């Protein structure tokens, strides 16, 4: 069993685990107002591309129940305005806009007045949640082909490095597969077991010996606060490192595979993910280490030709200069704080999706 980021609460409210408080406190919040759902997404109380799409869908359905007495046209206008407000909460992860578009379409397709449109919204939100949960498991399973290939390579390399020729021909014991990951792509970032971390969870279930290198992920520390927390709960061996130590670890031959998530994937494969992914991909390519992006189909944006067209969220400078309220830079120093960067498709070994391991063009 993995942890959960969100669920339906009593009488259909959206219930989320407030991720800003992790790992020191596990506090659940019940949300049933569009403004509070949008605030929770903006403040990263719920975060991760798939999770914010699911949370917005469930939050929209939960919030509009109080308006179900409205006549159909008024209710549909409210759906449009609320979906637009939620979609604007964060710009980079396409899952959010995608989920809001699905909710708007479900509302228009429903017959009758506010109450029946409301029921259709609830049904669609639950479908989005359940599909995401299923896609997580499917990605985890699809990723096992990559895990097995890397584990095989590592075991073979170990045997070959021994002078003893017998070690080469006999079947060497499987060696620990060392996976490096960035940000949080686990259960906390989805409605299921995660994206990149789902590959880790399924490998662990299968008994593959693993060691996960967890980039701490400056400035909001999704790696050390959230990924390490999830892996500790699951009993998976892991080590947290400063983001800037990843290249040295690769140079020391301590990394077999890099697995990351994505917030938006353009038609040509350029991939936006948490800032720090791009330098990781450069370092991985330099050291000959495969880097795979793990993402569900809801993260692919067919309208986006390449990475230059992906909007990159810029966040408050205080996240860098006063992280968690502690001043660590001179008051007033200007700050550059993009939440995401774009990794060119050229640096990605493959895209693990619920439909298998793919490459561009994705149409
Ligand atoms: O700013 P965040 O924490 O929402 O960023 C999350 C990421 O960048 C994840 O890697 C991405 O959403 C994929 S999560 C399954």
pLDDT per position as a tens digit, 75-90: 999 999 999 999 999 9
Ligand 1 contact, 50 CB (< 6 A) = yes
pLDDT for position 330: 96
Ligand 1 contact, 49 CB (< 6 A) = yes
For the CA of 186, the closest atom of ligand 1 is 15
Q: Collect all residues with Cβ–Cβ distance below 8 Å to 79 and sequence separation of at least 6.
A: 60, 64, 103, 104, 107, 117, 121
Tokens of residue 278, six digits: 């791009």
Residues 243-265 as b or e (16 or more Cβ within 10 Å = b): beebbebbeeeebbbbbbbbbbb
Mean pLDDT within 264-285? 98
Give 314's DSSP letter: B
Cβ 55 vs Cβ 42: under 8 Å: no
Residue 97 to residues 52, 128, 333: CA-CA distances in angstroms? 10, 13, 34
| Per-residue pLDDT reduced to its tens digit, 108-165 | 999 999 999 999 999 999 999 999 999 999 999 999 999 999 988 877 666 565 555 5
Q: Is 352 helix (H, G, I), strand (E, B) or coil?
A: strand
CA of 52 to the centre of ligand 1 (A): 9
For the annotated catalytic residues, the residue numbers are 263
Mean pLDDT within 323-334? 95
CA of 221 to the centre of ligand 1 (A): 11
pLDDT for position 171: 57
> What percentage of residues in the chain have a pLDDT greater than 70?
94
CA of 261 to the centre of ligand 1 (A): 7
Give 224's DSSP letter: I
> What percentage of residues in the chain have a pLDDT greater than 90?
91
Give 172's DSSP letter: P
Ligand 1 contact, 273 CB (< 6 A) = yes
For the CA of 273, the closest atom of ligand 1 is 8
pLDDT for position 165: 53
CA of 273 to the centre of ligand 1 (A): 6
Residue in the structure block whose two tokens are 């968690």: 324
Ligand 1 mutation pick, 44, 53, 93, max ligand atoms within 8 A of CB: 93
CA of 58 to the centre of ligand 1 (A): 19
CA of 184 to the centre of ligand 1 (A): 6
Ligand 1 contact, 190 CB (< 6 A) = yes
Ligand 1 contact, 274 CB (< 6 A) = yes
Q: Is the pLDDT of residue 170 over 80?
A: no
C-alpha 20/C-alpha 196 separation (Å) is 21
Residues 169-200 as b or e (16 or more Cβ within 10 Å = b): eeebeebebbbbbbbbbbbbbbbbbbbbbbbb
CA Rg, the chain, in Å? 21
Residue in the structure block whose two tokens are 């909710």: 103
For the chain, report the end-to-end CA distance as a whole number of angstroms. 35
Tokens of residue 145, six digits: 């082909």
pLDDT for position 212: 98
Q: Is the pLDDT of residue 168 over 70?
A: no
For the CA of 47, the closest atom of ligand 1 is 4
pLDDT for position 362: 79
Ligand 1 contact, 189 CB (< 6 A) = yes
* Cβ count near 357 (within 10 Å): 17
pLDDT for position 51: 98
pLDDT for position 268: 95
pLDDT for position 167: 52
256: nearest Cα among 287, 295, 296, 289: 289
pLDDT band at 1 (very low <50, low <70, confident <90, very high): low
pLDDT for position 360: 84
Q: Is the pLDDT of residue 347 over 70?
A: yes
Q: Collect all residues with Cβ–Cβ distance below 8 Å to 248 and sequence separation of at least 6.
A: none
For the CA of 313, the closest atom of ligand 1 is 1
| Per-residue pLDDT reduced to its tens digit, 2-56 | 799 999 998 899 999 999 999 999 999 999 999 999 999 999 999 999 999 999 9
Lowest mean pLDDT among 16-25, 89-98, 171-180, 348-357: 171-180
Mean pLDDT within 245-274? 97
SS3 content of the chain, % helix, strand, coil (to 5): 50, 15, 35
Q: Whose C-alpha lies nearest to ligand 1, atom 10?
A: 261
Mean pLDDT within 327-332? 95
pLDDT for position 117: 96
Ligand 1 mutation pick, 41, 243, 262, max ligand atoms within 8 A of CB: 262
C-alpha 144/C-alpha 135 separation (Å) is 14
Cβ 214 vs Cβ 227: under 8 Å: yes
C-alpha 10/C-alpha 106 separation (Å) is 23
C-alpha 299/C-alpha 93 separation (Å) is 7
292: nearest Cα among 270, 262, 260: 260
pLDDT for position 247: 98
Cβ 229 vs Cβ 24: under 8 Å: no
Mean pLDDT within 335-348? 98
* Strand-by-strand arrangement of the 271-274 sheet: 264-265, 271-274, 340-343
CA 75, 10, 102, 301 dihedral sign is: positive
C-alpha 351/C-alpha 354 separation (Å) is 10
């Amino acid at each position: 069993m993995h942890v959960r980021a969100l669920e339906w609460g009593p009488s259909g409210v959206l219930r989320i685990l407030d991720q800003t408080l992790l790992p020191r406190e596990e506090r659940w919040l019940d949300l049933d107002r569009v403004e509070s759902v949008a605030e929770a997404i903006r403040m990263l109380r719920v975060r991760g591309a798939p999770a914010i799409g699911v949370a917005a869908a469930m939050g929209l359905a939960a919030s509009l129940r109080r308006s179900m007495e409205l006549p159909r046209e008024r209710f549909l206008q409210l759906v449009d305005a609320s979906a637009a407000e939620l979609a604007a909460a964060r710009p980079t992860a396409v899952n959010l806009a995608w989920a809001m578009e699905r909710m708007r379409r479900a509302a228009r397709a429903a017959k009758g007045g506010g109450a029946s449109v409301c029921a259709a919204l609830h049904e669609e939100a639950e479908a989005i949640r359940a599909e995401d949960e299923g896609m997580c498991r499917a990605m985890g399973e699809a990723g096992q082909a990559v895990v097995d290939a890397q584990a095989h390579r590592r075991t073979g390399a170990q045997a070959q490095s021994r002078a003893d020729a017998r070690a080469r021909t006999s079947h060497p014991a499987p060696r620990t597969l060392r996976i490096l990951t960035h940000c949080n792509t686990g259960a906390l970032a989805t409605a299921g077991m995660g994206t990149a971390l789902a590959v880790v969870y399924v490998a662990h279930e299968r008994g593959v010996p693993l060691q996960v290198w967890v980039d701490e992920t400056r400035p909001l520390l999704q790696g050390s606060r959230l990924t390490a927390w999830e892996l500790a709960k699951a009993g998976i061996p892991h080590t947290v490192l400063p983001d800037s130590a990843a290249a040295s670890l690769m140079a020391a031959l301590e990394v077999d595979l890099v697995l990351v998530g994505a917030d938006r994937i353009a038609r040509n494969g350029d991939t936006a993910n948490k800032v720090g992914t791009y330098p990781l991909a450069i370092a991985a390519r330099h050291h000959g280490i495969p880097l795979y992006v793990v993402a569900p189909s809801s993260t692919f944006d067919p309208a986006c030709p390449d990475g230059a067209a992906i909007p990159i969220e810029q966040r408050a400078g205080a996240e860098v200069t006063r992280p968690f309220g502690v001043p660590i830079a001179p008051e007033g120093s200007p700050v550059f704080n993009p939440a995401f960067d774009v990794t060119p498709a050229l640096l990605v070994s493959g895209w693990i999706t619920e439909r298998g391991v793919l490459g561009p063009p994705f149409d």
